[in-house]
């Protein structure tokens, strides 16, 4: 295929991607969609109602490589969350974004939908956040409360944090003289044991 034909095909694909993203904003909102899609695309995903992420809003940034769609986009969440397959810094571990599993027929809309589905169906057996995975497997109730706590603190979700957990956050804030966000991170990594969180 000549360079001009390849360029035309590439441009048609990007135009299709733009239309798909803009016309399917039900569970997400596109907040920044560059004309050429070469700059990062910014999206806010709503937390699925059947998950502890319900009510939260989670920023997602997608960046396309020069040879997209033959290579997958790079994706990371800009909103911190507690999830086995997503680091607290937003890195994501999911098959659809791995080069060996990527198909050039996969659209950005499919990627967004897959990442939202990941919030409902985490895989603790292939973790990026080992602490979240361990908590999910050993104490599912604590895991759900922790997810809801992060969703409230970072994702502007509803305040459904039990008072016992709020008291622990306040205690660590006072002891360590740290922010609520920092106290939540320390407690999450220490299975909500206040004494253990002092060493983090």
Q: What is the dihedral of CA 163, 165, 170, 176, to 10 degrees?
A: 170
Q: Which residues 6+ apart lie within 8 Å of 124 measured at CB? A: 84, 132, 133, 134, 136, 137
Annotated catalytic residue, options 20, 30, 93, 191: 93
Q: Which residues 6+ apart lie within 8 Å of 96 measured at CB? A: 72, 102, 106, 110, 111, 114
Among the listed residues 72, 11, 56, the one whose alpha carbon sits nearest the alpha carbon of residue 37: 11
Strands (E), the chain: 28-32, 41-46, 57-63, 74-77
Is 178 an active-site residue?
no
Instruction: At 25, list the tokens.
Output: 């904003």
Among the listed residues 136, 125, 146, 123, the one whose alpha carbon sits nearest the alpha carbon of residue 193: 146
Any idea which residues carry the catalytic annotation?
93
């Amino acid at each position: 295929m000549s360079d001009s034909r390849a360029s035309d095909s590439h441009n048609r694909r990007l135009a299709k991607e733009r239309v798909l993203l803009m016309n399917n904003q039900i569970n997400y909102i596109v907040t920044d969609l560059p004309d050429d899609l070469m700059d990062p695309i910014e999206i806010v995903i709503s937390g699925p109602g059947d998950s502890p992420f319900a009510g939260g809003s989670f920023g997602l940034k997608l960046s396309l490589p020069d040879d997209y769609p033959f290579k997958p986009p790079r994706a990371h969440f800009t909103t911190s969350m507690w999830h086995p397959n997503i680091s607290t810094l937003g890195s994501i571990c999911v098959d659809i974004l791995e080069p060996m599993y990527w198909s050039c027929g996969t659209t950005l809309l499919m990627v967004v939908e897959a990442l939202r589905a990941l919030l409902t169906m985490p895989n603790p057996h292939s973790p990026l956040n080992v602490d979240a995975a361990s908590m999910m497997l050993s104490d599912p109730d604590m895991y759900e409360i922790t997810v809801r706590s992060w969703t409230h603190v970072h994702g502007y979700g509803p305040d459904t944090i039990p008072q016992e957990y709020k008291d622990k956050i306040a205690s660590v804030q006072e002891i360590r003289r740290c922010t609520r966000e920092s106290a939540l991170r320390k407690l999450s990594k220490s299975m909500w044991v206040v004494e253990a969180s002092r060493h983090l």
